[in-house]
């Protein structure tokens, strides 16, 4: 291998240890967000808290009920699920019951842009929320066997991309046993606090500086085809 193109800056040191040259121009998510029109058809008189429970059925089954369980503790806010067309409205409604939770389909960026805070299943969505300046709590839970095996095989400090990129705790992570209604309620309350939000936004600005600027997709395409 002569050179590897990577999409995260922390990958450079990994490949360097193995004697492989690496090119990092930025992350394509920046361009994806930049070109988004942030369409959002939902209106609310209350400030919105976005729920991003993931796109896989296993994730949603494990995480969405916990997210929804705290809704009654925050009656001054409107909770809205970022849903995917992979699943029906009835599927999501089976978790909601009579709780004050609405659903929007395929408008995740628009929802995040209009949200005061977010509860986010760990993955790319945590980085997207950060780049859109949304204070967040990162949630993750899987079946116990998978968790035990993964914990024994992989030794990592953080799970969310935001914290991995910054190599320190920027957003709260509630993983496996720590993900329950009491912890999630407390963590959401913390990111609704005005002083905490200021610190989060400062760290988000540092994150943006670290991963680069928009335009990397075009630059990479030109580099590959030259």
SS3 letters across 169-219: CCCEEEEHHHCCHHHHHHHHHHHHCHHHHHHHHHHHHHHHHHHCCCCHHHH
The SS3 call for residue 98 is: coil
Q: Which pLDDT value is given to residue 137? A: 98
**What is the helix (H) or strand (E) element at residue 221, kind and residue range?**
helix 216-225
Q: Which pLDDT value is given to residue 8? A: 84
Give the residue from 12, 28, 9, 10 showing the smallest Cα distance to 156.
Answer: 10
Q: Please tell me the distance from the alpha carbon of residue 67 to that of residue 63, in angstroms, as a whole number.
A: 6
Q: Which pLDDT value is given to residue 149? A: 53
Token couple for 137: 């709590």
The pTM of the whole model exceeds 0.75: yes
User: Strand 172-175 to strand 136-140: parallel, antiparallel, or no bridges (unpaired)?
Assistant: parallel
Q: Which pLDDT value is given to residue 174? A: 96
What string of pLDDT tens digits covers the 226 residues of the chain? 467 888 888 888 888 888 888 888 888 888 889 888 888 989 999 999 999 999 999 999 999 999 999 999 999 999 999 999 999 999 999 999 999 999 999 999 999 999 999 999 988 999 999 999 999 999 998 766 665 555 655 557 788 999 999 999 999 999 988 999 999 999 999 999 999 999 999 999 999 998 887 888 888 788 888 7
> If you ran DSSP here, which 8-state letter would residue 135 be given?
-
């Amino acid at each position: 291998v002569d050179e590897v193109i990577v999409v995260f800056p922390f990958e450079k040191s990994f490949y360097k240890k193995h004697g492989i040259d690496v090119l990092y121009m930025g992350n394509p998510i920046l361009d994806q967000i930049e070109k988004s029109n942030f369409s959002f058809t939902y209106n609310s008189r209350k400030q919105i808290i976005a729920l991003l429970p993931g796109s896989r059925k296993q994730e949603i089954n494990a995480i969405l009920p916990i997210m929804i369980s705290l809704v009654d503790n925050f009656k001054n806010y409107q909770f809205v699920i970022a849903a995917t067309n992979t699943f029906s409205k009835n599927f999501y409604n089976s978790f909601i019951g009579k709780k004050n939770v609405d659903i929007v389909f395929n408008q995740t960026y628009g929802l995040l842009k209009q949200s005061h805070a977010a509860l986010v299943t760990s993955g790319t969505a945590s980085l997207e929320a950060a780049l859109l300046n949304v204070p967040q709590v990162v949630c993750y839970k899987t079946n116990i066997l998978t968790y035990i095996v993964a914990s024994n095989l992989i030794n990592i400090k953080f799970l969310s991309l935001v914290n991995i990129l910054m190599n320190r705790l920027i957003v709260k992570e509630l993983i496996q046993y720590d993900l329950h209604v009491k912890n999630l309620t407390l963590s959401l309350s913390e990111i609704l606090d005005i002083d905490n939000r200021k610190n989060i936004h400062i760290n988000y600005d540092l994150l943006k500086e670290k991963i680069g600027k928009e335009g990397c997709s075009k630059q990479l395409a030109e580099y590959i085809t030259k």
